[in-house]
């Protein structure tokens, strides 16, 4: 039974290398191996039930007219900067399903919020009521005032080009680190020190041995987080370009950015805002795979649960890339 999988440039190259590494004769054989590998994995306790539904588009805050409101779209795998005044509200809303967003925050003197200080105050997975704190002097820069799909992270650094190159052996994949730096430069404030980020919608945990863990986001379309500026602050925002680890369901997507000023006379200001996603980040290569009825049944079970996607192409792509992840954790060239 044929299934057409949509792939980014990097995913296509990774799967070609994975086929050579495994000795699979073709993509059909590689897909069968990936599904069999998944059958033998211990069940993940986080994914016993169905993936939760989203908040619902009918309540989307962009539907409400407010004086001075700024409604933007941050394209997939992109970054931009936005300056807020004290009391302004910033809402980040899912347009698709499961898109991770990195947030960096800087006070007017260029000092970043401190992930360590914030973890000490609120733990590693902040939600409503938690603030992003700077360390010296200790004071909050932003506070989360709404959160429809909790599951955020204060442990991981922003992804980076060197990280992707170590993982795949492929150069040229931009990460959030590079996009934050470009957004700061567009705002006229580069270089400002620090790389601490709030990883919105990235579920994370710490194993007993101290190892950090993360897994694909549970958020759905129309889920949102609203942040209140506790003082004048510059934010850099990125829609995570990860198409390999599953952070953003293996396909980077756009998010809505809605800014509500406390004073309509002083609207938020944006810098370096991109118009479109970079072509390399868009899943634009179609690869047709033929699956057995038994393998289709396995893929459909995952699709009904939603954690790796809601349809056969999305689930199959996830299973292929999860095989690459498992083999890359073992000794030997990727």
- Residue 216: partners with Cβ closer than 8 Å, 6 or more residues away: 98, 203, 246, 247, 248, 249, 250, 307, 308, 318
Cα–Cα distance, 279 to 245 (Å, whole number): 19
pLDDT of residue 8: 95
pLDDT tens per residue across span 77-114: 999 999 999 999 999 999 998 999 999 999 999 999 99
Q: What are the residue ranges in the chain where pLDDT is below 50?
A: 58-60, 331-334
Tokens for 142, please give them.
């932003």
pLDDT of residue 217: 82
166 contacts 328 by C-beta, under 8 angstroms:
no
Strand order from edge to edge, sheet including 233-239: 198-200, 101-107, 233-239, 79-84, 269-271
10 contacts 305 by C-beta, under 8 angstroms:
no
Reported residue count of the chain is 334
CA torsion through residues 314, 320, 324, 330, sign: positive
pLDDT of residue 280: 86
pLDDT tens per residue across span 114-144: 999 999 999 999 999 999 999 889 999 999 9
pLDDT of residue 332: 39
Q: Whose CA is closest to 240, among 177, 183, 148, 316?
A: 177
pLDDT of residue 215: 81
DSSP state of 41: S
pLDDT of residue 269: 94
């Amino acid at each position: 039974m044929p299934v057409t999988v949509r792939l980014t440039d990097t995913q296509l190259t990774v799967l070609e290398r994975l086929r050579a590494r495994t000795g699979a004769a073709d993509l059909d054989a590689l897909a069968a191996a990936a599904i069999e590998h998944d059958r033998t994995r211990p069940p993940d306790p986080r994914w016993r039930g169905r993936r939760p539904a989203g908040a619902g588009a009918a309540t989307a805050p962009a539907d409400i007219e407010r004086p001075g409101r700024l409604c933007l779209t941050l394209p997939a795998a992109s970054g931009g900067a936005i300056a807020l005044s004290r009391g302004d509200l910033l809402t980040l809303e899912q347009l698709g399903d499961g898109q991770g967003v990195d947030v960096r925050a800087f006070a007017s003197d260029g000092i970043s919020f401190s992930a360590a200080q914030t973890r000490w105050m609120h733990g590693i997975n902040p939600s409503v009521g938690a603030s992003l704190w700077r360390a010296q002097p200790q004071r909050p820069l932003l506070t989360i005032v709404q959160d429809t799909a909790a599951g955020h992270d204060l442990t991981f650094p922003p992804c980076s080009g060197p990280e992707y190159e170590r993982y795949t052996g492929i150069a040229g994949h931009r990460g959030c680190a590079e996009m934050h730096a470009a957004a700061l430069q567009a705002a006229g404030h580069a270089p400002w020190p620090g790389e601490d980020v709030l990883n919105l919608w990235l579920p994370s945990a710490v194993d007993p041995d101290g190892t950090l863990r993360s897994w694909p986001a549970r958020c759905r379309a129309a889920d949102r987080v609203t942040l209140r500026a506790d003082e004048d602050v510059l934010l850099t925002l990125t829609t995570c370009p990860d198409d390999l680890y599953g952070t953003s369901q293996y396909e980077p997507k756009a998010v809505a950015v809605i800014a509500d000023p406390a004073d309509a006379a002083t609207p938020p200001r944006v810098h370096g805002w991109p118009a479109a996603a970079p072509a390399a980040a868009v899943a634009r290569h179609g690869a047709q795979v033929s699956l057995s009825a038994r393998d289709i049944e396995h893929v459909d079970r995952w699709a009904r649960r939603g954690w790796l996607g809601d349809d056969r192409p999305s689930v199959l792509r996830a299973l292929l890339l999860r095989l690459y992840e498992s083999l890359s954790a073992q000794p030997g060239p990727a």
